[in-house]
Chains A and B, each alone.
Chain A
């Protein structure tokens, strides 16, 4: 039955019950009133006795002859009616068609009864002053009002109690609903809505009493794998157990919630960095024991991101977002937990402003090309230069590619930057050729550029515009960039190679270094990753690797460039190992076109002096 129907039925029931009770009471009281009349007469009769043997007698008995209408009066000795003529008048005034009634005479009230016999009527009269219609009415009225009040009183209470019961049931249902709405069904922990609410409250409190507050966002590493390989049953059991363990290490005042999936969050009110780190370690410790599900032992490795109020945000949104960022940071580092760091946040304000400016950087002429010369180790000549893009930001100063290339890639701005770099490199190469400098410029392409099938045509057009031979431009790609979409990347590389543009593989040895793919790529040059070159003089293993790469490259007909040459020893070793080209700070740091010309002039003078 619906709730509305139930309430209506209850109210109707109470009303009907009250009405019925009242009707019964009224009926009973009216009957009682009539009986009271009889009792009054009887009581009067009992009081009025003959005085000798206490025989109850009426005050008068009158016989009326029906034919002659003659009255015979009989009066007992102690009758209270003394006057015969009065009595006669009284009897004659009685209605002949009624059998009984009450009549008033000279301030007294008489109860009379008429007995009809064959020849005559017998009328009995009894003085009964207690018999009073008005009194009767008054009694009835009072009783009805009072009993009505009492019935109403009881009915109101019954209605109240009923409504109380209904409200209680409603509240219980609401409690269940509220619990369902605010809690996660699987783990029974608060859900995101309740967490946000608790977090807001805790933040208000923290604002008021000036105490710190920590927020954890926890994610289980490789949870998806468990779910996918073992099934949801295992995943669910794991989540449940983790929820319990989290609850187990926390204080009563802390809130642990499941945000969804394998993501949990914890609010630690009044927890500074020390307490938060302690808690994070305890969580890692609690989760380090394997969890048994059926017959399998599963491991839940949490990554915890930590954000503090007020350092990392004053509202729940900011704190949650920042703890989330820290969590990803912890996951990447594999460190278990990490505290939010603004500069590592891909969404921080600096990056957002940068993104805004980056869109217009090329058109506002804020991009610069720097060149790092490449040395031919066989004849010590400078044969080329790697073009490196810099961004002259009006507020942040000169930014290196590490500061903005990733951002540009994420937001699809890399194409514009590449176009600018290619155009500038081709222009610069043409300018140098016009000045009689025979230098090849190397340009780095990102993974995104390798998906751009229009790139070879664009480059071709640029070369034609400046009437530059294609071997003056070299394209550098990383293995991982090609691997992103190997077929497409390979196609573009082949087209570039067909146009006569040289292709170099950057950071060789640091990525996948798949020899099969290497064979397929039309690359002429391999660039040894700088990490091997830098430590080469100290670490014998690195030297062996460099030598192996050099040998390998030469064996398959590729040339080798060593990056990161920082001291004369490394240069010497590379020469001994038979490396073809070298670049690095020891030879020259990246510099702009004008500086490079100066440097070249000085270098050639030096070279001539050495040869002379």
Chain B
């Protein structure tokens, strides 16, 4: 029997949209186009940050949020943020 780990979404609304937007910008500037950041190190660092943002936006789950007990989904029953 496979154990299913269910993760409660904790990213939503404007927070999720901002994460998408910034994530895509950073990912693009970091990995896809070197015109903005000619330095490879900086580009890769920003790219990784962008990727993390994108992933949290896609899965609607941010591990740091769950540790800090922040919830930006529409549900207001637990946490605030």
Contact = CB atoms under 8 A, between A and B. Distances in A.
Interface of A: 138-139, 142-143, 145-147, 149-150, 153, 157, 160-161, 163-165, 167-168
Contacts of B68: 157, 160-161, 163-164
A143 B49 contact: no
Contacts of B67: 160-161, 164-165
B49 A150 contact: yes
Interface of B: 37-39, 41-42, 45-46, 49, 64-65, 67-70
Given A150-B49, A161-B64, A142 B69 contact: no
Contacts of B46: 146, 149
B56 to A, nearest CB: 11
Contacts of A146: 37, 39, 41-42, 45-46
A64 B74 CA distance: 79
B42 A143 contact: yes
A150 B45 contact: yes
A407 B69 CA distance: 62
Given A150-B45, A157-B68, 4 more contacts: A142-B39, A160-B68, A161-B68, A164-B68
A157 B49 contact: no
Contacts of B37: 142, 146
A20 to B, nearest CB: 18
Contacts of A139: 38-39
A309 B38 CA distance: 78
Contacts of A165: 67
Nearest to A135: B38
20 contacts: A138-B39, A142-B39, A143-B41, A145-B42, A146-B37, A146-B39, A146-B41, A146-B45, A146-B46, A149-B46, A149-B49, A153-B49, A157-B64, A157-B68, A160-B68, A161-B64, A161-B67, A161-B68, A167-B69, A168-B69
Nearest to B30: A146
A147 B37 CA distance: 13
B42 A142 contact: yes
B42 A160 contact: no
Contacts of B49: 149-150, 153
A30 to B, nearest CB: 13
User: Lowest 5 CB-CB distances: which A-B pairs, in order?
Assistant: A164-B68, A160-B68, A146-B42, A157-B64, A161-B67
Contact of B42 (A147, A157, A161, A163): A147
Contacts of B38: 138-139, 142
Contacts of A163: 68
A160 B72 CA distance: 14
A167 B67 CA distance: 11
A146 B47 CA distance: 11
A300 B38 CA distance: 86
Nearest to B48: A150
A117 B21 CA distance: 62
A139 B37 CA distance: 9
Contacts of B65: 160
A164 B67 CA distance: 7
Contacts of A149: 46, 49
Contacts of B45: 146-147, 150
Contacts of A167: 69
B50 to A, nearest CB: 11
B33 to A, nearest CB: 15
Contacts of A164: 67-70
A166 to B, nearest CB: 10
Contacts of A142: 37-39, 42
A160 to B, nearest CB: 4
Counting chain A CB atoms within 10 Å of each CB, the highest count among B65, B68, B70 belongs to B68
Given A146-B46, A153-B49, A167-B69, A160 B64 contact: yes
Contacts of A160: 64-65, 67-68, 70
Nearest to A139: B39
The residue in A138, A139, A147, A161 that gathers the most chain B C-beta atoms within 10 A of its C-beta is A161
Contacts of B70: 160, 164
Contacts of A145: 42
A153 B49 CA distance: 9
A28 to B, nearest CB: 10
Of B41, B42, B49, B65, chain A has the most CB atoms within 10 Å of the CB of: B42
A167 B70 CA distance: 11
A164 B68 CA distance: 4
A143 B39 contact: yes
Contacts of A150: 45, 49
A157 B66 CA distance: 11
A163 B69 CA distance: 9
A168 B70 CA distance: 12
A167 B42 CA distance: 35
B49 to A, nearest CB: 6
A593 B6 CA distance: 94
A161 B63 CA distance: 10
A572 to B, nearest CB: 86
A143 B38 CA distance: 10
A165 B64 CA distance: 11
A146 B43 CA distance: 8
A163 B37 CA distance: 34
A143 B46 CA distance: 10
Contacts of B69: 164, 167-168
A161 B69 CA distance: 8
Nearest to A145: B42
Nearest to A144: B42
B4 to A, nearest CB: 25
